[in-house]
Structure 1
Amino acid sequence: MSRRTLAGGLAIAATLTVITTLPASAGRLAVKFPSANFPLGAQPAATKTLTAVTQGIDLYDVKAGSSTDGYTVTVLMPSGRDYGALETAQAKVAEVEAAGEAPSLQKVIRPSVADAPSQTVYMVRVGLWSFKDKAKADETAKTLKDAGLKVKVDYLGDDGLKTTGPWDAKVVMIDAGTFRGSYAASLGTSVAKRETVSSMAKARNAVVGVNGGFFNIHTAKNLRGEPVGASVVAGRLLSEAVPGRSAVVLQGRTARITELKTDVTAISQDGDKLVLNGVNRAAATDEAVLYTEEYGAKTPAGGTDIVLDANGKAVAVRTSGAAIAKGTRVLHGQGTSAEWLDEHAWEGWTVKIDTKVTDLRTRKALKLTPDLNVIAGGVGLVRNGRVKITAKRDGHDSVNMILRRHPRTLLGVTRNGSLILATIDGRQPGVTIGANFHEAAQFMRWLGAVQAINLDGGGSSAMVVSNKLVNRPSDGVERGVGDALLVLPQ
């Protein structure tokens, strides 16, 4: 299935523009919103409303398409997924027929991406109802459940196949030539805690804020603000990289997309070295993890803690499971790593923490200066002006992530270094459907990005402008997230 088919076929033109201003000092930008060919859907017109936010920053409210998708009932496979191999799907067809309903077997091709080939799967579905007849789909689903089948009601706009929309997107364009502020990352009050973008933006008096990268939902509940990937805030490494995954490097008023690797090593006064496994996260068996005062939680129980002062002096050796005091860092070891600490990190000794963050595109180390910030991305979308989706490398190689439509938060950099931030709301049938990875990449290229990345999405997608949430999160309320990208005033 071609990318053009996935995008819904024909392009549409942006024909209506409404302009408002906030405040009067805002100027026009060298980076411009595209005037032709909205890239998604097949409807004849799109609208955009422009708000000039402040010098160098414009906000666009973009709406396109209309709702023509309806509902169906999808039969779940033994794996719990809504798709499977042909043989498995055929067996489900027989079960549905035995229940007295007429199923259809649907072949679905998950398109290829830069680092993974296409995948063919099969779905079993029952019925097709218009948008206003969802109740009938619910009735059929109940009948099938009563017959012992596991099913769900699906809105077809979420599938990722051909659609007419609609789409509701918010786009912030920050012009490199006229913007006089800076960019920063924020983890809120701590690494472990999740906070809303609104809260983080308000704390820093940010003009614009969007949610950052993915956070760890598979750890203890009180630690789920932890970023999955590299996080640097004001020159301090607060979360290690997942080697090779996409990230956004922010410095002053510049932003660029690359892949990163982090190396953190403890060097004892006696010269012995220990490679640390992580920063500010739960420790596994035999791991060594560095905790900073920004962690906001206790170190794990069942290991050894070495408390280091600002000069790297080991000021205390303690049983693990305590908080990190301000002005200190804690070296924590489990198993064999705890044994190394017992032998090489005695109280009163100096233990140097050597931290290196390497840009894998340039092969150069980043200088951890106070103006350096890093946010881990989710999936690379555009590189050097071409669609290059790195879903497998970035941990999202699945039908659900590549093909299905979800709310998206997107970041792009133009040829002249201007920054584009966008949210495409989704999971709101009849209002806005979101985008899949290919559509998100096309959307960012249309906006003028020559480099683009997918940040966290789904219910996490949030954009705050001038202390106001301007998009509509799919949860109905703004979700607490791990980190945020903030645009700070001059």
Structure 2
Amino acid sequence: MTRRQKRFGAGRGAGRAALTLLTALGALAGAALVGAAPAGAAQGDVRIAPGVRYQEFDIAAQKGPAHAHVLTVDLRNPHVRLDLLHPGAVAARSTVSRLATAQGAVAGVNGDFFNISETQHPGVEATGASVGPAIAGGRALKAAVPDGQRFGPALPPGTGTEDVIGVGVDRRARMDDLSLVGSVRTPQGRLPLRGLNQYALPVGSVGAFTAAWGSASRVRATCGTDTDRAAPCSTDTYEVTVRRGRVVSTADVPGSGPIAPDTTVLVGREAGAQQLRKFFAGERSEMGVPPAGGWGRVKVRHRLVAAASRVPYEFALGGYPVLDDGRPLPGLDDRTSAVRTAVGIADGGRRLLLFALDGAREYRSGLTIAEVASVMRELGSVDAFSLDGGGSSTLVARAPEASEISVRNHPSDGRERPVPNGIGVFSTP
């Protein structure tokens, strides 16, 4: 039994969706699926770049027909690699096509769920930041918010916001958990760090915000609780700005604006705020001005630690598992159908399937999560991971030998929705 099976429990069958594959040159009713390419469907299989292929087909689903778009990425090909698509800041959004074009990708799909609205907190703006951990180019950008602060559908039992899918420096894809380990060391003592560029911090904690966060307000990080996203914002907060190891200012309310590359902003709420205040706002400090002689050196350290893999990740992003070691996770929703995006892992992590449903009106009923797990297994996936869906579901690819990226599915909003991140497919000549 694998580590993830021990965590999630033995899977149970979700019921295989009946698949009818339609290529551009004809219908292939009742075709069996073999690996990533349905038997007899080679005419609908288009080479995008070395190691990257694209196909589309219909699915006879529970609530009506669905139409799928699939990218198959062969990581055994030395000319192809995957990395995170992102707009340059955690708290920012852009369309998948713009992200892919800006970063030079040949294809891609949308990524993690994100902080899309803040109707429960008047006066607080949504940050647009993603829910789970994110790694780009081997660099940790952010950690996961508490489970209760998550946006998106209900999670399957045994899963959480720290779940990721990614590719290691060994060029193998895998599912994993990434947790934050960090600390704030000061002459007055040591504090645990429980947040990194997150739109929500655990109650009573201290979190760090770096230049990777962007310029969005940090107030949202002190709203809600670990179990209730809609709970009021905390009234006990404190912020400390550290530049080159020295405290340069303090404030009672989290601020906004860009953070310099040599600067870390510490935000505390409740007990975390009280600890920061105790260390940095003694009787000798007024209006955030350091006392004579300063507060002394401050060291902020943080890293994302993988639960399963000892191989460093080149890229990773959040979502949630739906298929583990060939088995659907227990408790997958088999009633709610929607437009979905998913990623499948095959061939020992050497092959990935990037899957997005079409949001055109005639296909908008989509698939249940249980059906997604079944379809990904039929396509040859051993493990599969659900990403954000609905209006976010987008798959882009350039035409063979072309330079421009185009959207291959029809986003259900009628246009591309800006998203915080995605999976980019990159090819070298």
Matches within 5 A, 1:136-285: 161=62, 165-219=64-118, 222-234=125-137, 235-240=139-144, 242=146, 245=160, 246-252=163-169, 253-277=171-195, 279-282=197-200
Residue 273 of structure 1 aligns to a residue whose secondary structure is strand
**Equivalent residue for 2:401?**
none
Against the structure 1 CA distance between its residues 390 and 176, is the aligned structure 2 distance closer, same or farther, given a 3 Å change threshold?
Answer: farther
Instruction: Please tell me whether residue 33 in structure 1 is matched to residue 33 in structure 2.
Output: no
Shift of 1:263: 2.8
Aligned-residue Cα RMSD (Å) equals 3.2
Instruction: Please tell me whether residue 469 in structure 1 is matched to residue 407 in structure 2.
Output: yes
2:183 aligned partner, one-letter code: T
Question: 2: distance between equivalents of 1:372 and 1:269?
Answer: 35
Shift of 1:171: 0.5
Against the structure 1 CA distance between its residues 402 and 482, is the aligned structure 2 distance closer, same or farther, given a 3 Å change threshold?
Answer: farther
Residue 274 of structure 2 aligns to a residue whose secondary structure is helix
Question: 2: distance between equivalents of 1:280 and 1:317?
Answer: 20
1:337 alignment partner, one of 272, 278, 286: 272
2:383 aligned partner, one-letter code: Q
Tell me the TM-score normalised to structure 1 length: 0.64
Matches within 5 A, 1:412-451: 412-416=344-348, 417-426=350-359, 428=361, 430-431=362-363, 433-451=365-383
Against the structure 1 CA distance between its residues 290 and 53, is the aligned structure 2 distance closer, same or farther, given a 3 Å change threshold?
Answer: same
Unaligned runs of 5+ in 1: 20-29, 37-45, 66-159, 392-400
Instruction: Please tell me whether residue 405 in structure 1 is matched to residue 323 in structure 2.
Output: no
Instruction: Please tell me whether residue 381 in structure 1 is matched to residue 317 in structure 2.
Output: no
Question: 2: distance between equivalents of 1:483 and 1:388?
Answer: 25
Question: 1: distance between equivalents of 2:78 and 2:37?
Answer: 16
**Equivalent residue for 2:217?**
298
Shift of 1:481: 1.5
Against the structure 1 CA distance between its residues 390 and 180, is the aligned structure 2 distance closer, same or farther, given a 3 Å change threshold?
Answer: farther
Question: 1: distance between equivalents of 2:421 and 2:59?
Answer: 30
Residue 358 of structure 1 aligns to a residue whose secondary structure is strand
Tell me the TM-score normalised to structure 2 length: 0.73
Shift of 1:231: 1.8
Shift of 1:284: 7.3
1:299 aligned partner, one-letter code: R
2:354 aligned partner, one-letter code: L
Shift of 1:446: 1.3
Cα deviation code 1:345-377 (max 9, x no counterpart): 574532222323232335x5x64xxx6322001
Shift of 1:437: 1.2
Residue 212 of structure 2 aligns to a residue whose secondary structure is coil
Question: 2: distance between equivalents of 1:269 and 1:436?
Answer: 54
How many pairs are equivalent?
354
**Equivalent residue for 1:68?**
none
Residue 413 of structure 2 aligns to a residue whose secondary structure is coil
Shift of 1:435: 0.9
Cα deviation code 1:115-152 (max 9, x no counterpart): xxxxxxxxxxxxxxxxxxxxxxxxxxxxxxxxxxxxxx
Against the structure 1 CA distance between its residues 17 and 197, is the aligned structure 2 distance closer, same or farther, given a 3 Å change threshold?
Answer: closer
**Equivalent residue for 1:372?**
314
**Equivalent residue for 2:55?**
60
2:273 aligned partner, one-letter code: A
Task: State percent identity of aligned pairs.
Answer: 25
Contact 2:340–2:393 (CA<8 Å) still a contact in 1? yes
Shift of 1:415: 1.9
Question: 2: distance between equivalents of 1:16 and 1:487?
Answer: 23
Question: 2: distance between equivalents of 1:374 and 1:289?
Answer: 21
Cα deviation code 1:20-43 (max 9, x no counterpart): xxxxxxxxxx9751317xxxxxxx
1:482 alignment partner, one of 388, 401, 420: 420
Shift of 1:418: 0.8
**Equivalent residue for 2:385?**
453
Question: 1: distance between equivalents of 2:114 and 2:392?
Answer: 10
Contact 1:389–1:437 (CA<8 Å) still a contact in 2? no
Unaligned runs of 5+ in 2: 1-11, 27-33, 148-158, 223-234, 281-289, 399-404
Contact 1:280–1:292 (CA<8 Å) still a contact in 2? no
Matches within 5 A, 1:74-85: none
Contact 1:48–1:63 (CA<8 Å) still a contact in 2? no
2:301 aligned partner, one-letter code: D
Cα deviation code 1:229-288 (max 9, x no counterpart): 212233123233557533112335432112332233222234422343453325576442
Against the structure 1 CA distance between its residues 196 and 247, is the aligned structure 2 distance closer, same or farther, given a 3 Å change threshold?
Answer: same
**Equivalent residue for 1:102?**
none
1:288 alignment partner, one of 206, 212, 215: 206
The higher radius of gyration belongs to 1
Against the structure 1 CA distance between its residues 344 and 472, is the aligned structure 2 distance closer, same or farther, given a 3 Å change threshold?
Answer: same
Against the structure 1 CA distance between its residues 404 and 334, is the aligned structure 2 distance closer, same or farther, given a 3 Å change threshold?
Answer: closer
Matches within 5 A, 1:125-140: none
Contact 2:321–2:329 (CA<8 Å) still a contact in 1? yes
Against the structure 1 CA distance between its residues 282 and 324, is the aligned structure 2 distance closer, same or farther, given a 3 Å change threshold?
Answer: farther
